[in-house]
């Protein structure tokens, strides 16, 4: 597995890091490294009070993400090589992203979806989710194809978030400290 640093040192990658715009490759090795990576992602998701985190957000170009739509430890889920289908309904809600802190974008998403994926051992999982969980899946699945919420911004949203995005761009060009 191509890791930018030891797993315990992985940090959340911030906009405009170009890794966030790349298409990720399928996971092929279901080994201890994959399990450790998923655990580190869960740890970071909780640390930053997120509801989901995709591998490219920690600098790893692989198709997996973690989620927790309940805030309870039992709500932690790992989705490897996910595929979404049977998207139904439409609802709009504000969406944030741990890689673009401070930015919120109103985004229309399907209300419900089916996910087919693998667990960390490679076993198949199928699940049907709606509302927040389905939204997390769609947001995180977008990350695996290099799509970010800011790619969906309306003109109004672009104006509203311009200062924060400029600030993140300036910090990326000249990092103040490691996050
Ligand atoms: Zn995100």
Tell me the pTM: 0.95
| Ligand 1: centre distance to CA 81 (Å) | 17
Residues 6+ apart with CB under 8 A from 46: 68
| Ligand 1: centre distance to CA 20 (Å) | 9
Q: What angle do CA 66, 67, 69 make, to 5 degrees?
A: 175
What average pLDDT does this structure show over 124-131? 98
| Ligand 1: centre distance to CA 97 (Å) | 4
DSSP state at residue 27 = P
Give pLDDT, residue 177. Answer: 66
In the chain, what percentage of residues exceed pLDDT 90? Answer: 94
Mean pLDDT of the chain: 96
DSSP string of 80-131? Answer: EEEEEEEEE--EEEEE--TTSTT--EEEEE-SEEEEEEE-TTS-EEEEEEET
Query: Does residue 159 sit in helix, strand or coil?
Result: helix
| Ligand 1: centre distance to CA 149 (Å) | 7
In the chain, what percentage of residues exceed pLDDT 70? Answer: 98
What average pLDDT does this structure show over 16-21? 97
Give pLDDT, residue 137. Answer: 98
What average pLDDT does this structure show over 122-127? 98
Q: What is the pLDDT of residues 23-57, one digit of tens each?
A: 999 999 999 999 999 999 999 999 999 999 999 99
Q: What is the pLDDT of residues 84-99, one digit of tens each?
A: 999 999 999 999 999 9
In the predicted model, is pLDDT for residue 61 greater than 90?
A: yes
Give pLDDT, residue 176. Answer: 73
In the predicted model, is pLDDT for residue 179 greater than 60?
A: no
Q: Are 13 and 171 a contacting pair, CB within 8 Å?
A: no
Sorted by where each starts, the structural domains of the chain and their CATH numbers stand as: 7-173 (3.90.45.10)
The whole-angstrom distance between residue 75's C-alpha and the CA centroid of its chain comes to: 16
In the predicted model, is pLDDT for residue 67 greater than 90?
A: yes
CA nearest neighbour of 60 among 19, 32, 30, 31: 19
What average pLDDT does this structure show over 126-144? 98
Q: Are 166 and 159 a contacting pair, CB within 8 Å?
A: no
Instruction: Based on the residue annotation, tell me whether 91 is a catalytic residue of this protein.
Output: no
Catalytic residue among 140, 155, 160, 169: 140
Give pLDDT, residue 178. Answer: 59
Q: How far apart are the C-alpha atoms of 10 and 60, rounded to whole Å? A: 9
């Amino acid at each position: 597995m191509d890791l930018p640093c030891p797993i315990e040192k992985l940090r959340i990658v911030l906009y405009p890091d170009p890794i966030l715009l790349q298409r990720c490759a399928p996971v092929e090795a279901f080994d201890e490294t994959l399990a450790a990576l998923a655990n580190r992602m869960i740890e970071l998701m909780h640390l930053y009070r997120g509801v989901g985190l995709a591998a490219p957000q920690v600098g790893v170009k692989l198709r997996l993400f973690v989620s927790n739509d309940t805030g309870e430890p039992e709500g932690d889920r790992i989705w490897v090589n996910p595929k979404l289908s049977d998207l139904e309904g439409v609802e709009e809600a504000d969406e944030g992203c741990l890689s673009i802190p401070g930015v919120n974008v109103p985004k229309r998403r399907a209300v419900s979806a089916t996910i087919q994926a693998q667990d960390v051992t490679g076993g198949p999982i199928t699940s049907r989710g709606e509302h927040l969980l389905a939204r997390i899946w769609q947001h995180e699945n977008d990350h695996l194809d290099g799509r970010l919420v800011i790619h969906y911004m309306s003109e109004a949203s672009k104006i509203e978030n311009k200062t924060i995005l400029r600030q993140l761009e300036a910090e990326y060009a000249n990092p103040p400290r490691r996050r």
